[in-house]
Amino acid sequence: METLRDAASRLRRAEATSGSLVEAAFSAIEAREADLHSFLTLLPDAREAAEELDRARPEGAGPLYGIPYAAKDNLMTEGVRTTAASRILAEYVPPYSATAIERLTAQGALLLGKTNLDEFAMGSSTEHSAFGPSRNPIDPTRVPGGSSGGSAVAVAAGFTHYALGSETGGSVRQPAAFCGCVGLKPSYGRVSRYGLIAFASSLDQIGTLTRDVRDAAVVLAAIAGRDAHDQTSVQDAVPDYLGAISLGAKGLRFGVPQEYIGEGVAPAIRDEVLRAADLLEAQGLTRRDVRLPHTPYALDAYYIIAPAEASSNLARFDGMRYGPRAEGDDLLESYKSSRGEGFGAEVKRRILLGTYVLSAGYYDTYYLRAQRLRALLRQEFSAAFADVDVLLTPTTPTTAFEIGARVDDPLAMYMADALTIPANLAGLCAISVPGRPSEGLPVGLQLMAAPMREDVLLRAAAALEEVVR
């Protein structure tokens, strides 16, 4: 499939127009969207917007100018319905756009539509959307992953050249692995969260889904950087990510933590990680032993911390200001009925869990211990990155599972994120790159690097992408 950079090159050479790219996108969507359900909202005025961009195209336009993209439907878009795939926001139209959206718009990027997700980004398969599941374009009987499943489908099916997603515990990298595209989670604070509907504020991050690593570098450069609206965004200068990739990866040090390729990881995926490690060594990267002994406990800590933050963040959705309001005998009954009817089962489960672990008598037993485990994970990763530049692991323990196979088994569903969650808990940057397929299904190879070292991460990822093809 054509990359973002290839499309930009055709636009510069006047071999294509933004209008022709939009028409091609709509044609592809018309052919397969009914089966895949990647979008919740398509923008019918995208054609007019493309024509305007073509008329106004300046000399030296940037690489994103005039190229259509998709955004996960938990990112605010001014004047465009934003639902977070929940009934409680079914008709919500925000009065402002997320900073990431505004930065793309400022560079001439063209929003094509808003993509499907697990409700409020809580899920690993996009089956928890209030508007129905998305399907994997490689095999529509299987899930595309989640919660950014619609964005991954839009890229993998050729509907858009790139898409924005969000990450709380792997929601960009996991669907990228399942659908066979590149999913990048920046370091916590690298990209502004302003305008992202919050799930767990200490974990959430906006990420990218693209067709190759260099495209990920282009999009990240466009959306990264300090934002006065988000006090957790860092002031560090945004590096030249494409320039960093051009330096190559020879001499970088990498490790393969044994904790990531042990029990629970499918043999074919483990073998692909070890094959990739051998190929990287052959390209001049240095392999070193790494141990991360607290990794097996990360999933437990995450499913205490994330629901706790969610129970607080979602308190604002009470039927009074957003979405349908249910009437009751008094205000409390109205709140309870509105939330009961507006939220889906998975969101209710996590709110209840989060409220429980924060309640009197359980805070120290659960929440405080989970935060201590999180601190230990950060310390272990910090020690590891003193010896290596990147870590190589599987992105997911298995390939994409069948639709319906885990939807009634929350624990099995949560295991799909077991290998991605540690990077969110530690605030690392991480990326999933397609490896060699297993039985016709994509396999994701994950690289992680220290916070704010996306330049090193992308250098290693570009090398990995080249050798595993």
Q: d(Cα 216, Cα 231) in Å, to the nearest integer?
A: 25
Q: Which two tokens stand for residue 326?
A: 């249910």
Of 465, 392, 397, the closest CA to residue 178 belongs to 397
CA atoms within 13 A on the CB side of 463: 30
Active site residues: 72, 147, 171
CA distances in angstroms from 13 to 337, 363, 398, 423, listed in the order given:
58, 61, 43, 40
Please give the single-letter amino acid code of residue 11. L
**pLDDT at residue 459, rounded to an integer:** 98
CB distance 309 to 203 below 8 Å: yes
Walk along the chain (469 residues) and give the pLDDT tens digit of each residue: 899 999 999 999 999 999 999 999 999 999 999 999 999 999 989 999 999 999 999 999 999 999 999 999 999 999 999 999 999 999 999 999 999 999 999 999 999 999 999 999 999 999 999 999 999 999 999 999 999 999 999 999 999 999 999 999 999 999 999 999 999 999 999 999 999 999 999 999 999 999 999 999 999 999 999 999 999 999 999 999 999 999 999 999 999 999 999 999 999 999 999 999 999 999 999 999 899 999 999 999 999 999 999 999 999 898 777 667 777 777 677 777 767 778 999 999 999 999 999 998 889 999 999 999 999 999 999 999 999 999 999 999 999 999 999 999 998 999 999 999 999 999 999 999 999 999 999 999 999 999 999 999 999 999 999 999 8
Say which CATH topology domain 4-245 has. Answer: Amidase signature (AS) enzymes (3.90.1300)
Q: Which of 438, 340, 313, 457 is closest to 389 using CA atoms?
A: 457
Taking each helix axis from N to C end, the angle separating 454-468 and 267-282, rounded to the nearest 10 degrees, works out to 100
Question: Which pTM value belongs to this model?
Answer: 0.97
- Sheet bearing 182-185, strands edge to edge: 39-42, 110-115, 68-72, 162-167, 205-210, 182-185, 429-434, 444-449, 390-394, 253-255, 286-288
Half-sphere exposure of 173 (CA within 13 A, CB side): 33
Tokens at 288, concatenated: 């070193």
Please name the residue that has the structure tokens 């398509």: 42
Tracing tokens 């004047």 back to the chain, one arrives at 79
Give me the torsion for CA of 361, 362, 365, 367, rounded to 10°: -140
Tokens of 14: 């006047």
Q: Domain segments of the chain: what residues? A: 4-245
Which residue matches tokens 């249910």?
326
pLDDT value at residue 100? 98
Place of tokens 């001499």: 251
| Residue recorded with tokens 């490896």 | 435
Say how far apart CA 106 and CA 111 lie, in whole Å: 12
Contact 160, 132 (CB under 8 A): no
One DSSP character per residue, 261-326 reads SSTTS-HHHHHHHHHHHHHHHHTTPEEE----TTGGGHHHHHHHHHHHHHHHHGGG-SSSSSS---
**Model pLDDT, residue 112:** 98
Question: Dihedral, CA atoms, 354, 359, 364, 370, nearest 10 degrees?
Answer: 0
Task: Compute the CA torsion angle 106, 112, 115, 120 (nearest 10 deg).
Answer: 40
